[in-house]
Structure 1
């Protein structure tokens, strides 16, 4: 039996997905215990103490807790059904052992794994490490168990090390805990894990009603470091909390620590898969137009119309106009008596399958009856990325059936080289676009100030004289903000500065030019794509950047290479340059593991002349959300790198269509990195090939195939 392409694709995704996400898919295990009551560390918990609960798979939460004991700003992501990760930025007044600041602004990272599911008589069990990449000021480890007594009541008990064993120790079963080496932070504190004193903790959470939950816990944290910095000493080991649900996604918590310290916490929990507008608010597509009978249009069915030299220009012009209303640019078209190929650029729909589906409908309305084979080729920045071949009779027959039916007859493959017979659509090129609007830049996790910002106006322009050649630029005028204020870290003798002077590029009162480039994209061979960019590449560097990518339609693997010759720009962010020049380059490997996980490894030379590698993993959701993490380690030592020890961060990308319901390919988001340091830094190039190509190739088209008939 011949399987359809989509079924073969689904079968090939299963094996690697099981390898990478074995804890996600398994043989009929119970669902992991989930909860939405967040503790002050941003994890499912009681007040301070953790529980063995997780969040719903894929959930992202943000919380901010405040008391006289400190401030904690947390972002938690349920990476897998049993794996929870938290990035935290906390402030403790009067506690900074090295820098002499009023507050210790500390970045920390937690990881928790649920190792046992709850059974009829057994609790769920989780193991976690807290602040294991950072200064270790909030460092703790724990083993915790949680049991559901009834639908409204859960009890928890566990053993804690580190902070969670400041008092009430019952011994040190695994040896002494090494002294905390604050150092430069940013390095895993492996030697401290599960070492030193261990103390019990326990607690209970009661869901009083649909809105209110009450919590009480017996804590092992004496807040020794905060008390030593002048905070009130807790008089009790009992902490109390009350959480009120403000809506489906928001909650407000009040808590009492140790009988003395009152605090507040605001929490927001989001499930990327639950859009405010699940079906979208776009207009319905034009219906498929069935062909007339042969008797009603004998000339149309005979194909004799194709001999008329005026036929294709008229059809192409009509199709161009109707596609433009759908946000599609008809770049070129090839037309014969029984076959039509259109090359489209999708400017509106997040899922390429939706653009293809709407294009196929419009083709049934514009083409003569004899045209049976429809080929829709997706084009990104002048590069054809994939071709979907459909039979017109299948489209007519299956319009009102599930998308899986038409998927069985769709063939997706590499576009033909050369484009024989293609006629460029008149008026498409040259193409000029411009826009004027506001901008806001935000800097987070600065050790001197939690949030820096800049607000102003910008003008952008883009000119494409031919397909694949793009001139683009941006001018900004700052209105107000705090970016650029303050003194940067002192420069050590012989130190190479490439990123640690980032503040010097902000706070300008005159207009600046963050980017001004000429880029040429091409597809010189099947499955091979190239990019050359020249100009002011980013705010801090200008020069030449070249890239080549091998990415076949049927391959989960992609390989790339990039080389840059750049010079450091002057701090005025105009046309002047400093003396520093460098050649950087990387070899890259990308792999789509399935189940929404995509990995990347980049190895090569970075801007400061250091050699090393970056490892990144992203989790992508069907609606376009992307949450990821990365880390870079080079031959630059931790001492040379400075505070943070090595480069690492979190990436978040949210499609605008998710929030508004209106079709759009625009996104908001960015990197959440601990610090701007010189080690492990790359040129920030706009339009790198992998993300330009893959969203309109076979794998992503099939992932979004459910929107073909939208």
Structure 2
């Protein structure tokens, strides 16, 4: 009876203390203990056992490991300096399910929190949860300590529960997954594990560990499975070799008999291939001549000449266009000039503002002392940075923080007296033809699927704020084919497209939930051209801090209709509130101009808060596509160079049974600017969303152009996070 009491004490003291200490920012620590090797579970560790090491803050990567026991694909992210997360998709051999293929496909999530780092005699200590949201095949918890023995040798000792103790949890065959198995944490008896790593040189690392993992699974229906042969011993050995900037390959043995291999790629947003970028250098600031050398320019009498502003505006617009910034409008007086700009090239808005300020010193007469640089998005002004020209001249060769302190940021009014639109700005037509790649991952039935084709996209800016957008796609090849949703009670079996279209009753699940996303595969596999988007959007500004959007048309591949939105976001506020209402109808599966019968009104009220270090929290409360009501919580981290990594979870009034496998909607978002990898200045991005399942509950409309992301880059937190690029 003493062991459960010990476990309760661990739960009541160790974990809360870990959370408090791990989240503290005022504690002095030594240099962080960085990982030397990645385990087969995608965490810093030995081979199958964890350590208390961390990755450099912000590191994002993936590990692929293969052995006779399992094939694991792990996506890891160092979300905070002390918090590591892993999303895993694994093929677990030796276990049968309804497909009777000798293996199962399993999704799982891990969290590890470093309580303290190594300092003096004290080792680094971490607490971790393994597979705490999945079916529980890998379920286990641990407390582990790691310390450097010598500069080259590092040792770890820990206490593990669940699979780490060789005592796998009983897996409930009726469980839909997706809910934390809190009642099992730190239960069932613990056993020790250990590992030692030897860093032979900068490239080669050798690892030995003592592990209790039996590769054994038990189910609530009485079935038990040995995943291959039980390891012949508890000792595992491995070697890993690092090559290039971001890659690692390794081999290992489990129990001295089974051989495995592993490959890791790790990217850090702060470690770009071209840290300084390859864009051309900006024009230098041009100091003003002495008043005696240009008395007319200093007097301001030039402002009375009606030909002065058009000539200056044309010259400035041409220079800014060469620098990747579009001059949309200008108001010019004898002592002050306001320019309204659209950033066409740079990830950081601060870089566009800095280059504009330099060019203004070169184009404007010397009497103009005040610069007002107003950023715009889709023709709508979002914020104004006001600078004194003398500060720009004086501080050019100093750190960016000094010019930030000398500037002011304010909300931009919708209209300014004397503002003149630049010639030939509107209307504006742009188009592109690019290849596209769609990937399907984390599907237990399909594994990795793909579709490749070409997409033509065009936009027509009729006037400031009024934009028509369209896209046309043609599939070339791929294995993402059209099919109906799964047949209830027959796992792995699906309705044919013909069966699904012929019976309207199938468009509702047996639990009475409209199929708003679970029939997504009906929109794939078209051999004919499709129209994923065709819209007309109107962006406006009701007050200096309130933005509005109205979008009509084919909003996404599955829905068309009207989407309206309003956002309150002052330029100097970390807080924002928004509201969105949509009336949409389901599109036909050929993705052209026909519609199906399902029609729904959805809407949300939203709150946003920007923390320091690039974190943004978002709460959306309202009605979703299936008519269910609930809330979505999103946490996103953005780095100064434009990397964005986020996670979200949605819970509505649908029960776990009504929702289906997964219990509630959740996923991970990732967006990486292309310039990070190529060094070229561009606003193009590669974005993806990782979600294990596509279910009907908690599904939102996927409409382009939501206001918050359009507005925030020129507002206080996001703007000043990237202010270091002002002088680039």
What TM-score do you get using the length of structure 2 for normalisation? Answer: 0.91
- Contact 1:212/1:243 (8 A) holds in 2: yes
In the alignment, does 2:452 pair up with 1:455? yes
Q: Can you list the C-alpha shifts for 1:651-698, whole angstroms capped at 9, x where unaligned? A: 111111111111111111221111111010000011110000000123
In the alignment, does 2:424 pair up with 1:421? no
Partner of 1:43: 43
Q: C-alpha separation between the residues in 2 aligned to 1:606 and 1:367?
A: 52
Partner of 1:468: 465
Q: CA deviation at 1:118?
A: 2.2
Partner of 2:603: 585
Q: How does 1:238-637 map to 2 (within 5 A)?
A: 238-484=235-481, 488-490=485-487, 492-493=509-510, 494-637=512-655
In the alignment, does 2:696 pair up with 1:678? yes
Q: CA deviation at 1:124?
A: 1.8
Q: Can you list the C-alpha shifts for 1:76-114, whole angstroms capped at 9, x where unaligned? A: 111122211111011123524456565421110001111
- SS of the counterpart of 1:77? strand
Partner of 2:151: 151
In the alignment, does 2:213 pair up with 1:221? yes
- Contact 1:567/1:581 (8 A) holds in 2: yes
Q: How does 1:78-93 map to 2 (within 5 A)?
A: 78-93=78-93
- SS of the counterpart of 1:36? coil
- Contact 2:604/2:620 (8 A) holds in 1: yes
Partner of 1:212: 204
User: 2:677 pairs with 659, 683, 687, which one?
Assistant: 659
Q: C-alpha separation between the residues in 2 aligned to 1:99 and 1:140?
A: 27
Alpha-carbon RMSD: 1.9
Q: CA deviation at 1:23?
A: 2.4
Point out where structure 1 has 5 or more consecutive residues left out of the alignment.
Answer: 1-18, 170-176
Q: C-alpha separation between the residues in 2 aligned to 1:560 and 1:33?
A: 42
Q: Can you list the C-alpha shifts for 1:172-221, whole angstroms capped at 9, x where unaligned? A: xxxxx676456111111111111113222122111122221111111111
- Contact 1:647/1:679 (8 A) holds in 2: yes
Q: C-alpha separation between the residues in 1 aligned to 2:120 and 2:321?
A: 59
- Structure 1 residues 21 and 141 mapped into 2: Cα distance closer, same or farther (>3 Å)? closer
Q: Can you list the C-alpha shifts for 1:467-488, whole angstroms capped at 9, x where unaligned? A: 1000001000000011125663
Partner of 1:174: none
Q: Can you list the C-alpha shifts for 1:106-131, whole angstroms capped at 9, x where unaligned? A: 11000111123323333222111100
Point out where structure 2 has 5 or more consecutive residues left out of the alignment.
Answer: 1-18, 219-223, 488-505
User: 2:178 pairs with 181, 186, 201, which one?
Assistant: 186
Q: CA deviation at 1:700?
A: 2.1
In the alignment, does 2:113 pair up with 1:116? no
- SS of the counterpart of 2:217? helix
- Contact 1:70/1:91 (8 A) holds in 2: yes
Partner of 2:75: 75
- Structure 1 residues 20 and 521 mapped into 2: Cα distance closer, same or farther (>3 Å)? farther
Q: Can you list the C-alpha shifts for 1:227-254, whole angstroms capped at 9, x where unaligned? A: 9266222211111111111223111110
Q: C-alpha separation between the residues in 1 aligned to 2:473 and 2:482?
A: 18
Q: C-alpha separation between the residues in 1 aligned to 2:93 and 2:402?
A: 62
Count of residue pairs brought into register by the alignment: 684
Partner of 1:690: 708
Q: Can you list the C-alpha shifts for 1:607-666, whole angstroms capped at 9, x where unaligned? A: 011100000111111111111111000111111111111111111111111111111111
- Contact 2:482/2:523 (8 A) holds in 1: no
User: 1:646 pairs with 664, 667, 670, which one?
Assistant: 664
Partner of 1:200: 192
- Contact 1:24/1:80 (8 A) holds in 2: no
Partner of 1:52: 52
Partner of 2:63: 63
- SS of the counterpart of 1:574? coil
